[in-house]
A = this chain, B = another copy of it.
């Protein structure tokens, strides 16, 4: 199966799984449920679910089992976007080519949407997964919580807030992004591997891989923010510069940032060496992360 066909299949099954997992739009409180669905469905490239499925396929995990951690991670990601777009944070009006949640609904609803999407991630991942030992599933929940919390994604957001207008070094910027973007990408990869009952050494190799693509994802994001248009991105372009946020591009310049992306891409491929040919999808996703234009 070609990569685009595989990718499109995972994106479609992720959309269906999210659609089925989210409360129905007519269920009370209907406005909240509609706003949750608005913020999650019908958009996004589903990079984290793709990584989760690709990592799981390395260990021949069942796709139907992989849907649960995939959508749990995607729900965490979606909640972070809704809260990140709020006026007290990035104050953004456009996301995935649509008005942001607080613009389409209102600020209080967007706050509750983010809150409830986070809870829903843990609700999904605490439903019993067939074929997964309960003890391993608890470890998976713990992994997702650590990746999302104050030492992971939420902590990265806090560091990002504090960094506005500051001069950061490359290592300070890396410290932030390992948390803000990297932690959840790492969780997506490792949760997929857990579904295939991966052994500790395989988890360790995948952890190294995930750390590289987490940073790679961010470096490419910074390059796109500097170079692409709002229409292509489906979100406001040039935002980081306008908000005076430190990025790889404004610390290193575009050309050195691209060189850094090339180096991280190679390191990510190298980290997959232990898995040989069976890591095809993860290799392809690594290239996809670099070559995307969104």
Chain A positions near chain B (C-beta within 8 angstroms): 23, 27-29, 31-33, 36, 79, 83, 86, 88-89, 106-109, 111-112, 114-116, 118-120, 122-123, 126-128, 133-135, 137-139, 141-142, 144-146, 148-151, 154-155, 157-159, 161-162, 175
Cβ-defined contact, A116 with B32, below 8 A: no
A52–B134 alpha-carbon span in the complex (Å): 23
Q: With A116-B154, A133-B134 given, name 7 new contacts (CB 8 A).
A: A29-B155, A31-B158, A33-B150, A83-B115, A112-B157, A119-B145, A134-B135
Q: Lowest 9 A-B CB distances belong to which pairs?
A: A134-B134, A119-B149, A123-B145, A88-B107, A32-B158, A116-B150, A126-B141, A126-B142, A134-B135
Q: Across the interface, which residues of B come within 8 angstroms of A31, CB to CB?
A: 158, 162
Contact indicator A119/B89 (Cβ below 8 Å): no
B residues near A142, Cβ cutoff 8 Å: 123, 126-127
Per assembly, the copies of the chain total 2
Which residue of chain B lies nearest to A88 when distances are taken between CB atoms in the complex? B107
Q: Which of B36, B111, B148, B150 contacts A32 (CB 8 A)?
A: B150
Please, which residues of chain B bring their CB within 8 A of the CB of A126? 138-139, 141-142, 145
Closest-by-CB residue of B relative to A86 is B111
Cβ-defined partner of A150 (8 Å) among B120, B149, B158, B159: B120
Q: Which B residues lie within 8 Å of A128 (CB)?
A: 135, 138
Q: Among A79, A135, A154, find the residue whose CB has the most chain B CB atoms closer than 10 A.
A: A154
Expressed in whole angstroms, the minimum distance between the Cβ of A164 and any Cβ of chain B is 10
- Which residues from B are CB-within-8-Å of A151? 23, 27
Q: Which of B29, B83, B154, B158 contacts A158 (CB 8 A)?
A: B29
User: Can you list 21 A-B contacts with CB-CB less than 8 angstroms, sorted by A residue number?
Assistant: A27-B151, A28-B155, A29-B158, A29-B159, A29-B162, A36-B150, A83-B111, A88-B111, A89-B111, A109-B161, A115-B118, A116-B150, A116-B154, A119-B150, A123-B145, A126-B138, A128-B138, A134-B134, A134-B137, A138-B138, A138-B141
A119 contact set on B, CB distance < 8 A: 118, 145, 148-150, 154
